Each structure stands twice: as C-alpha cells, then as structure tokens.
Chains A and B, each alone.
Chain A
Amino acid sequence: MFAQLILKECRQTAKSIIYWLIVLILVIFFSSQLGNMDIAKKPKPGLESYGRYYSSNEQDIMKATLGYLVSEYTNGKYVTYPIGFYKMVTPDKEEQKRIGEIISETTGLDTKEEMEKALNAETEDSDAEASDKKKNHIIVLGGAPIAPSKTLTYDRFGELMREVDHLLGGGSQYNKKHLKTNAATPKTYEQALQEYEDLMEKDHLTGGYARLYSDYMGIMLGILPVFLAVTRGMRDRRSQMRELIASRRASSASVIVSRYISMLIMLMLPVLLISCIPLMECIQYAASGFHLDYLAFVKYSFGWLLPTIMIATAVGMVLTELTDTALGVLVQLAWWFLAIFSSMSSMSGGMYGLDLVPRHNTEYNYAGFHAGFTQLAANRVLYAVISVLLIAVTVWIYSLKRKGRLDIRGKLLGNRKRKSQA
C-alpha cells in the first residue's frame, strides 16, 4: 500500500511542469558551470604562480589578522560582511577604546604612532625582501603582517578576536570562521604537487570532482526543491481533491511521507543522472590501470546533496500545509539568500560549519575536506534530522486538517473577505 502510494506520487511528480522545469534548470546550470570541465594536470616546476592557500600555521594567522586589525583600528573603520554584503562599521568611543586595549595586549603596541610605524616598517621590510622570500610572504588585506607579542597564546588570541568581532556586530575578519582565511599565502610548487597527488591517490580523481559537483549543484538544490513541494502541496486544493483524499483509508502519515519520499526520489534522479557526465570525463582522462572510485559521485550525491534536498522540500511542505500559500518559497528563498552569501568566504572548502549549502569550490583541498569531515558529517546529519522533524509536523498539521480542526484559509481568512463592488 505504502509502496503503491510512493509510485503514484512519483507518477504525479513526473507529470508536473515544475518538476521538468527543475530538471531543465539543473541541466542548464550544470552545463554553464561544469560543462567545460578541465581535468587537473600535473603542475610543472618553474611557473610564476601556483595560486594561493590559506595557511593553517597559528603564527601566520595571528600575524595576518593582527596586521589587518591594526590597519583598521588606525582608520577607525571596520569592514564586515554579515551575509556577504559589504558593511562598514564605525564603533563608538568605548568600543574603539576596548579594541585599542586588545591590540595593546596582543601586539604590545600602545599608541597609534607605534601602530603606524609597525605597519610601515613591515611594508618596507616586505618590499626589501628578496623575490624568492617574497613568494612565501603572507598577504594581508589593506596592511602588512604584525607580529604578536611573545607571551600571547593562540587560545587567548582567538578569545580576544571573538570579542572584537562581537563589538563589530559579527561578520568581520575576526570571527572564528574568517580567522582561518586571513593568512593567504602563495602556494609553492611542492604544495601544488602535493595537492595534485592527493587528488589522484587519496581522492582517486573522482572524489575531488564529486565534491566540486556537489558544491555547484548544492547551490541550486538549496532552493529548487521548495518549488516542487509547494506546487504539490497546493495541487490538491487547486484540483479540489482535498476532501476526496481526506476521506480515504490511508493514514495521514502514509499520505505525507509517501509524498515526501517520492519527491526525494524524483529529485535525486536527475542529480544522479547528470553526475554521469563528469564521471565519464574522469574515466576518459584516467590512464588504464589507474584506480578510480566509480561510486564517488553516488556517495557524494547521497551524503552531501540529499540532506539539502530533504530540508528544502520539508520547509516547502510544512509551510504549504500550514498556510495553503506559497509562503514556503519566500522563507526558503530568504534562508537560501543568507546561506549563499554568508558562505562565500568559505568557498575553498574545509570550513563547513552549519551552512545550508556547504561550499568546496575546488577539486583540490583534500586535506581541508579531511580535516573538516566531522563538521560536514554533523552538518548533514543535523539537516536530515530537522527535515524528518518538519515532516512529522506536516503529518500532524495534515491530520488536524483532515479532521477539520485546522483550516486557516477556510476559517480565519475566509471570514475576513468582503464582497467586491467591482
């Protein structure tokens, strides 16, 4: 009975124009972003640049962050990106005084003159350095690195930077997440080669590309499923079938859960099918005898993308069932908007936090993925659990409506309407 319901719902979904629009959008998006995918080539020695990486060395992070903090403090203005949008913060006297005290504790610099001198000295030093030494220099936004005081521990530094971030209202370069991206350092040939070898040996080539695929497709799957869920939720009312379905023997849980599972199945289908394209490219590229992970795309699609699909669908279902409107679209869009813009600083991967759409916009950085795996797994499990809870709430709302106890549209809004004179 339950399996039959799922099959029926799958057929219903396959007849929906919204579903086919979603498939079309996924195909177009994939083609535009990953259509001309270049498989990584072994780096050659002697190139001018191999890109940059974020140093995880605690001394580098402290130097770069303090350099940036001192330069902002001397200007009296601080740039923050609460959701990825530029926001200039001008702290009041008390806050600026406290930031000055923090700089004094972390760098030993007490006056503005000393700070400016330190900034200029660092700049002059870095100008004078030999070119090969320069290649390893930390790049500091709008300033130069400043050495922390010798007694400063990394824990105390983190604590004080959190306080600065709090004083600035969040979203600054000093919050825990951004600290890791402050010490941008040019990559050496050896590091570039190591990343390539990680991609080939640890990721078996397909692992890296499956992450890149998940990164791009996650952007779309953070919003598109809500359209399908809202359309499906409103369909019964539009086609005046609600009362008929309500009178059937199937339990409320069977109706809602079968709907939910069928939508997940139908949404996962194009995701899995499209992933065959980059998989084929990896197979073509790999030399014979090379050990590829053929199931990498399947594993990443289920582990990385399915929880995103689950939550976006669940939000659409619960809000449509509750309000009988397209409110779910607006709510999910607002959430998606905040999630996408606020995760722009963690696009290189390894910093997944609680992001709705975890970012890893590179086929490389296996080390970052490996280090952040627990965080990523917790993130995905959390969203899957929330989705299940939302579906349980949807079942409850639906059962109340079936019993005629909750009909927001019919009772509350319906009574407010007055006759049109037009």
Chain B
Amino acid sequence: MANYWEIGKENLRHNLLIHAGIALLLLCFSPLVLGVKNLGLSETAKVLEIYVALIGIVLITPVFLPEQNRDLRDLIHSKYTKVASIYSIRVIESILVLMLFLGIYLWFLHRNGCEMDAAMYFAGTLAEMLFLGGLGIISYSLTDNLVAGYMIPIFYYITAIGGGKKFLKSFYPFSMSQGSYSEKYWLLAAGIVLIILGIRIRSRK
C-alpha cells in the first residue's frame, strides 16, 4: 500500500502537476472568452460540454508519458510492482483531479447565477471527460504515440461540432445542452471500457 501511495506521489510531482496546471489555466481563461454569468440551463450545459470537458484529454491521455522511453519501460516491467497498477493509480489520480476541477467550476458557475441541475451536469460532463480521455488512452496505447493520443479525441470532438449527432448517435457528446442525458450513459460506459482496454494493451507492450 505504501508503495502505491509513493507511486501516486511521484506521479503527482513529475507527471500530473504540469497537466493539471494546463487544465487549470484553460479553466481560468474561460471567463475571458465565454459567458459564465446568468446562463440558462442549455447555455450552462454548452459551456461544460464544449469547453470544460476538453480538460479530460489534457489530464487522462498522458498517463503513459513517463515511460515514453522504451528502455525505461523495460526497466519498469522488470520490477515487482505490476505496471498495470501503476497506470491505474495514475488514471485514478487524473480522474480525481478532473472531479475536483469540475466541482469547483460548477460551484463558480452557480455563484455567478447560472442555472443548472448540478448532479446531472457534474455526472454528464465527467462522463464526456472520461470518454475523451479514454479515446486518448486507447489511441496512445495502440500507436505508442502521445500525439496520436491527442489527435483521435480531438477528431471526435471536431466531428461532433460539425453536426455530428447524425453520425455519432448515442455517442454524441453535446446532448446535455439539448436536454438529453441518455447519451451520457453510453459515453461513461465506453469511456471506462476504453481506459481499461488502453491500460491492458499498454501493460503488455
């Protein structure tokens, strides 16, 4: 257990901190370009789904980055601690940071008089974040390339913006602003599956 705690601490210090900083910067930047005051239900959902959810890519995708060097990966594989456990701890840490940031952002919107169904908006946005991050993780693990890990979820995001409901159907990420939550269950389930698959594939490489 102490070992896992140490892994978490090291990840926070060497890997997560910089990505959390970038995510925080993106969120802090939002009031300059987005309306974050007195928004209606649909407009609040739009801000969360189109802007805030993007930090899922920033925080979840780079969990394999510290072992980008193959020699280092071989060394870690030779250790007693399972590499899948290391990756899982990193993903859980990233998700906790996402939840923290999302919670603070929702509180900030609430304080600014934005209408919201807080619990549903929190869960819905988190589901989208997990799916975007899951797409990133699976792409990264399959190609062994961080850039591909960023590229695939961004392509999915662009497709969704370009009138993607027709193509993405149950996986349409911006449904909450149109009053529908059913897509979020699909995104959540698929996000978890993609993250698990990504970790399994990477652990075997």
Contact = CB atoms under 8 A, between A and B. Distances in A.
Interface of A: 17-18, 21-22, 25, 29, 32-33, 80, 82-83, 85-88, 90, 219-220, 223-224, 227, 230-231, 234, 238, 326, 329-330, 333-334, 338, 340, 417, 420-422
Contacts of A83: 33-34
Interface-central residue, A17, A90, A417, by most chain B CB under 10 Å: A17
Contacts of B50: 85
Contacts of B148: 17-18, 21, 227
B43 interface: yes
Given A417-B14, A422-B7, A85 B46 contact: yes
A86 B43 contact: yes
A33 B162 contact: yes
B68 A238 contact: yes
B64 interface: no
A87 B47 CA distance: 10
Nearest to B31: A87
Given A86-B46, A422-B3, A18 B146 contact: no
Nearest to B150: A329
A87 B34 contact: yes
Interface stretch (B151-159, B178-186, B191-199): B151-159
Given A90-B38, A329-B150, 16 more contacts: A18-B145, A18-B147, A25-B155, A29-B158, A29-B159, A32-B159, A33-B162, A85-B47, A85-B51, A86-B46, A227-B150, A227-B151, A231-B145, A333-B154, A334-B26, A340-B161
Contacts of A340: 161
Nearest to A340: B161
Given A230-B147, A326-B150, A420-B10, A88 B35 contact: yes
Interface-central residue, B22, B38, B146, B158, by most chain A CB under 10 Å: B158
Contacts, number: 84
16 contacts: A18-B148, A33-B162, A83-B34, A85-B34, A85-B47, A86-B39, A86-B43, A88-B35, A219-B162, A220-B158, A223-B154, A227-B147, A231-B147, A326-B146, A330-B22, A422-B9
B6 A421 contact: yes
B150 to A, nearest CB: 5
A87 B147 contact: no
Contacts of A88: 35, 37-39
B170 interface: no
B93 to A, nearest CB: 13
A230 B148 CA distance: 10
Closest 3 CB pairs of A and B: A87-B35, A422-B6, A83-B33
A334 B58 CA distance: 12
* Dominant secondary structure of chain B at its interface with chain A: helix
Contacts of A338: 33
Interface string B16-37: 0000001000100000111101
A230 B155 CA distance: 16
B151 A21 contact: yes
A380 to B, nearest CB: 22
B176 to A, nearest CB: 15
Contacts of A227: 147-148, 150-151
Nearest to B34: A85
B147 A326 contact: yes
B146 A219 contact: no
A90 B39 CA distance: 12
Interface of B: 3, 6-7, 9-10, 14, 22, 26, 32-35, 37-39, 43, 46-47, 50-51, 58, 68-69, 81, 143, 145-148, 150-152, 154-155, 158-159, 161-162, 167
Contacts of A422: 3, 6-7, 9-10, 81
Contacts of B38: 88, 90
Contacts of A219: 158, 162
B17 to A, nearest CB: 12
A69 to B, nearest CB: 19
Contacts of A420: 10, 14
B145 to A, nearest CB: 6
Nearest to A222: B158
Nearest to A220: B158
A326 B33 CA distance: 24
A108 to B, nearest CB: 32
A317 B160 CA distance: 28
Contact of B145 (A17, A80, A82, A224): A17
B85 to A, nearest CB: 11
Contacts of A87: 34-35
A338 B33 CA distance: 9
Contacts of B158: 29, 219-220, 223
Contacts of B35: 80, 85-88
Contacts of B3: 422
Contacts of B43: 86
A21 B87 CA distance: 26
Contacts of B37: 88
A82 B33 contact: yes
B136 to A, nearest CB: 12
Nearest to B76: A422
A29 B14 CA distance: 37
A315 to B, nearest CB: 14
Contacts of B14: 417, 420
Nearest to B79: A422
B38 to A, nearest CB: 5
Nearest to B29: A334
